[in-house]
RNA sequence: GCCGACGUAGCUCAGUUGGUUAGAGCGCCUGAUUGUGGAUCAGGAGGUCGAUGGUUCGAAUCCAUCCGUCGGUACCA
């Protein structure tokens, strides 16, 4: 009886082509984070269930993967990196604050999988714990911009708002606090469903295209119009949005303090060169509701808006205190690595490389096998990523492999080269370009496009030059 | 989770009112060409027709249930 090779739903393998693009992305972003002076942290995939669910709502607990161990403890897989970070900060009181760390790791959520959304996925988090100062939020926003610029994701827009400003809106509209969660969740959807459906969902609800009833929040008509007025506050300029917010919230208790926080962030961003075309204020941004307490942010790729936000984050001043210690203010953001890669692939900006190798050393004469290996190891020792044939197949098959995997150079070493102390270096792409016009096989073969003979002693230097490396 | 549509080769699909051994294109493998990828030609592998149960002399085709995929919706700490 054989075993069927399949994976549970929402899980997937990452084949070399995907892993290569992923690792390059991660390396680039890590460079940005380290440039900001953040340090790496590692935590286990498995946590105690009460550590995880102590910070999650009732419904959220359902999406935690349960894990069993021989001691029969209540365990689960982490669903984000922020909760484990809060545990670490609480568990090690001597950790120097502010604790500025980055972490890239897999997380798990037992949700329904969607395109670009899986049950096991990777987050790349950047957080500052023990940082009450708005400069920390500015750093996070700037690091998001720098990361998206560094990975050449094309035009993007980072948007931010503040949970405290949203709370002021509730005050202004006279909406009960216990409805805050429902109201914010609906506001957050405006970009997706539009103002019309938002109004319906805030009041009586409606029936969607599939005939499924969407329950409404049940707000009064005047409350909905105040929210509509609030949502209309948008502009290409942060300064203008802040001015309009100030007049909208005029007279509400605490509004000037909260707007001052937003103005401080905005002013710092301007001074640092992150202007409204990169980072704007969007009052509809609410983000996840469980623990955000202040500024909240997200980022979208303008060429792939349908993939949703590729970064999300905000300030969570109360989270660490849930482990019983003092309140430690914190802020941070999380990059959705899988979603970002899916978006990049969609807009054709993901790498198409299928192998790490830059050179394939072919072997056509078993008597020259050792010499071929010596050539390969000379290249490797010079830092050139090299594969040497281990298939034992004919030369044609070896070249076909290089072609399919996208290895740019092949080295040929047969008796004819060996006699003269040279190697043939073949540039795979050249023949691919010239081949279109040739129909006869013999002519194609004898043309030997893109080939040059190189003295054995010079092979490392020649390839370095071809690959654009300084020697 | 809820509503709906759809499951035939690695991929895209055809398959008549239920009827003999389930097909095509692309891809893959082998050879022509044992030292040259593409093109061409010849050959080949690959399917319990998503699964299980039922109706029938007979099921890819009809029925039921389950699983999976896709779309919408909910959720997204």
Q: Could you say which DSSP state residue A312 is in?
A: E
Nucleotide nearest to A186 (CA to C1'): B74
The complex's ipTM works out to 0.81
Task: Determine the average pLDDT of the residues in A361-389.
Answer: 95
Smallest Cα–C1' distance to nucleotide B72: which residue has it?
A210
Token pair of A202 as six digits:
């805030």
Strand B positions within 7 A of protein Cβ atoms: 1-4, 28, 30-40, 67-77
Q: Which sign, positive or negative, has the C-alpha torsion A274, A279, A281, A287? A: negative
Residue A62 is predicted with a pLDDT of 62
β-partners of residue A214 are A206
Closest CA to A278 of A126, A153, A441, A375: A153
Smallest Cα–C1' distance to nucleotide B34: which residue has it?
A394
Nucleotide nearest to A7 (CA to C1'): B68
Q: Is the pLDDT of residue A377 over 80?
A: yes
Please, what is the angle between helix A337-346 and helix A16-35, to 10°?
120
Confidence of residue A168 (pLDDT cuts 50, 70, 90): very high
Q: Could you say which DSSP state residue A117 is in?
A: B
User: Distance between CA A177 and CA A171 in Å, rounded?
Assistant: 9
- CATH for A359-466, options being 3.30.70.100, 3.40.50.800, 3.30.2080.10, 3.40.50.1820: 3.40.50.800
**Parallel/antiparallel/unpaired status of strands A451-455 and A422-427:** antiparallel
- The Å distance, CA of A420 to C1' of B28, is 39
Token pair of A200 as six digits:
């319906």
Distance of CA A344 to the CA centre of its chain: 10
- The Å distance, CA of A350 to C1' of B27, is 23
Q: Lowest-pLDDT range, A192-196, A253-257, A291-295, A330-334?
A: A192-196
Task: Determine the average pLDDT of the residues in A40-45.
Answer: 96
Closest CA to A63 of A102, A7, A117: A117
Give alpha helix (H) positions in A55-214.
58-61, 82-91, 134-150, 163-173, 180-187, 190-202
User: Distance between CA A322 and CA A55 in Å, rounded?
Assistant: 7
Closest CA to A84 of A67, A63, A70, A105: A105
- The Å distance, CA of A404 to C1' of B23, is 30
- The Å distance, CA of A239 to C1' of B61, is 67
Task: Determine the average pLDDT of the residues in A158-168.
Answer: 92
Nucleotide nearest to A291 (CA to C1'): B77
Kind plus residue range of the DSSP H or E element containing A75: strand A75-77
Nucleotide nearest to A434 (CA to C1'): B38
- The Å distance, CA of A20 to C1' of B26, is 27
Place of tokens 């792939």: A304
Task: Determine the average pLDDT of the residues in A75-103.
Answer: 93
Residue A210 is predicted with a pLDDT of 55
Reported as a single tens digit per residue, the pLDDT across A52-70 is 876 544 445 567 888 888 8
- The Å distance, CA of A398 to C1' of B45, is 21
Nucleotide nearest to A415 (CA to C1'): B35
List Cβ<8 Å contacts ≥24 apart for A446-451: A450/A426, A451/A412, A451/A424, A451/A425, A451/A426, A451/A427
Percent of chain A with pLDDT over 90: 52
Token pair of A108 as six digits:
């798990």
- The Å distance, CA of A354 to C1' of B45, is 25
Task: Determine the average pLDDT of the residues in A322-335.
Answer: 91
**Cβ contacts of A141 within 8 Å, gap of 6 or more:** A158, A160, A265, A269, A274, A279, A297, A333
Reported as a single tens digit per residue, the pLDDT across A119-157 is 888 999 999 999 998 999 999 999 999 999 999 888 999
- The Å distance, CA of A2 to C1' of B9, is 20
Residue A126 is predicted with a pLDDT of 96
Closest CA to A249 of A353, A172, A191, A348: A172
Confidence of residue A202 (pLDDT cuts 50, 70, 90): confident
- The Å distance, CA of A111 to C1' of B69, is 16
Closest CA to A435 of A398, A399, A390, A385: A399
Q: Is the pLDDT of residue A288 over 80?
A: no
**Strand, helix or coil at A210?**
coil
Confidence of residue A411 (pLDDT cuts 50, 70, 90): very high
Q: How would DSSP label each residue in A120-153? A: EEEEEEEEEES--SHHHHHHHHHHHHHHHHHTT-
Nucleotide nearest to A417 (CA to C1'): B35
Residue A115 is predicted with a pLDDT of 66
Reported as a single tens digit per residue, the pLDDT across A216-273 is 788 888 888 999 999 999 888 999 999 999 999 998 988 999 999 999 999 999 999 9
Residue A198 is predicted with a pLDDT of 85
Token pair of A335 as six digits:
């990059």
Name the CATH topology of A16-346: BirA Bifunctional Protein; domain 2 (3.30.930)
Residue A213 is predicted with a pLDDT of 64
Task: Determine the average pLDDT of the residues in A76-90.
Answer: 92
Token pair of A159 as six digits:
């948007």
Place of tokens 């999988």: A113
Task: Determine the average pLDDT of the residues in A169-178.
Answer: 89
Residue A199 is predicted with a pLDDT of 87
β-partners of residue A117 are A114
List Cβ<8 Å contacts ≥24 apart for A64-72: A64/A108, A64/A109, A64/A110, A65/A108, A65/A109, A65/A110, A65/A119
Q: What angle do CA A90, A91, A92 make, to 5 degrees?
A: 95
| The CA-based dihedral angle spanning residues A267, A271, A277, A280, taken in that order and rounded to the nearest 10 degrees | -20
Closest CA to A429 of A403, A454, A460: A403
Place of tokens 């994976």: A7
Q: Where are the domains of chain A?
A: 16-346, 359-466
**Cβ contacts of A20 within 8 Å, gap of 6 or more:** A351, A353, A354, A355, A356
Residue A440 is predicted with a pLDDT of 80
**Parallel/antiparallel/unpaired status of strands A279-281 and A39-40:** unpaired
User: Distance between CA A125 and CA A108 in Å, rounded?
Assistant: 15
Q: Average model confidence (pLDDT) for chain A?
A: 88
Place of tokens 């000037």: A256
Smallest Cα–C1' distance to nucleotide B77: which residue has it?
A56
Residue A58 is predicted with a pLDDT of 46
Residue A59 is predicted with a pLDDT of 44
Nucleotide nearest to A450 (CA to C1'): B36
Residue A361 is predicted with a pLDDT of 97
């Amino acid at each position: 009886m054989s075993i069927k090779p399949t994976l549970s739903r929402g899980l997937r393998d990452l084949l070399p082509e995907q892993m290569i693009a992923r690792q390059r992305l991660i390396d680039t972003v890590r460079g940005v984070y380290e440039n900001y002076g953040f340090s790496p942290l590692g935590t286990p995939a498995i946590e105690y269930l009460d550590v995880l669910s102590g910070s999650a709502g009732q419904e959220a607990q359902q999406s935690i993967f349960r894990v069993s161990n021989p001691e029969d403890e209540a365990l689960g897989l982490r669903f984000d990196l922020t909760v484990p970070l809060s545990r670490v900060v609480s568990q090690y009181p001597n950790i120097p604050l502010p604790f500025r760390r980055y972490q890239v790791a897999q997380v798990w959520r037992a949700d329904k999988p969607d395109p670009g959304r899986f049950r096991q996925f990777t987050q790349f988090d950047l957080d500052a714990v023990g940082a009450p100062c708005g400069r920390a939020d500015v750093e996070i926003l700037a690091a998001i911009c720098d990361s998206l610029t560094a990975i050449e994701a094309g035009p993007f827009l980072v948007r931010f708002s503040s949970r405290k400003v949203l709370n002021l809106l509730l005050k202004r509209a006279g909406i009960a606090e216990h409805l805050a969660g429902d109201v914010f969740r609906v506001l957050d959807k405006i970009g997706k469903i539009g103002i019309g459906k938002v109004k319906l969902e805030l009041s009586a609800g409606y029936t969607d295209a599939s005939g499924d009833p969407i329950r409404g929040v049940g707000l009064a008509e005047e409350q909905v119009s105040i929210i509509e007025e609030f949502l209309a506050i948008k502009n290409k300029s942060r300064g203008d949005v802040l001015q309009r917010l100030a007049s909208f919230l005029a007279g509400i208790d605490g509004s000037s303090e909260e707007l001052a926080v937003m103005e401080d962030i905005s002013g710092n961003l301007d001074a640092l060169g992150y202007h409204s075309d990169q980072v704007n204020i969007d009052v509809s941004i609410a983000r996840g509701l469980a623990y955000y307490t202040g500024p909240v942010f997200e980022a979208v790729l303008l060429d792939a808006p349908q993939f949703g936000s590729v970064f999300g984050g905000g300030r969570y001043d109360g989270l660490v205190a849930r482990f019983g210690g003092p309140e430690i203010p914190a802020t941070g953001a999380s990059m959705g690595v899988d979603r970002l890669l899916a978006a990049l692939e969609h807009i054709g900006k993901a790498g198409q490389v299928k192998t790490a190798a830059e050179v394939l050393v072919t072997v056509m004469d078993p008597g020259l096998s050792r010499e071929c290996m010596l050539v390969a190891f000379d290249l490797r020792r010079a830092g050139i990523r090299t594969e040497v044939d281990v298939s034992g197949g004919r030369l044609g098959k070896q070249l076909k492999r290089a072609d399919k995997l996208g290895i740019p150079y092949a080295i040929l070493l047969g008796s004819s080269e060996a006699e003269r102390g040279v190697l043939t270096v073949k540039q795979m792409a050249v023949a691919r370009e010239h081949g279109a016009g040739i129909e006869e096989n013999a002519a194609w073969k004898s043309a030997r496009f893109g080939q040059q003979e190189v003295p054995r002693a010079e092979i490392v230097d020649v390839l370095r030059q071809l690959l654009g490396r300084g020697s």
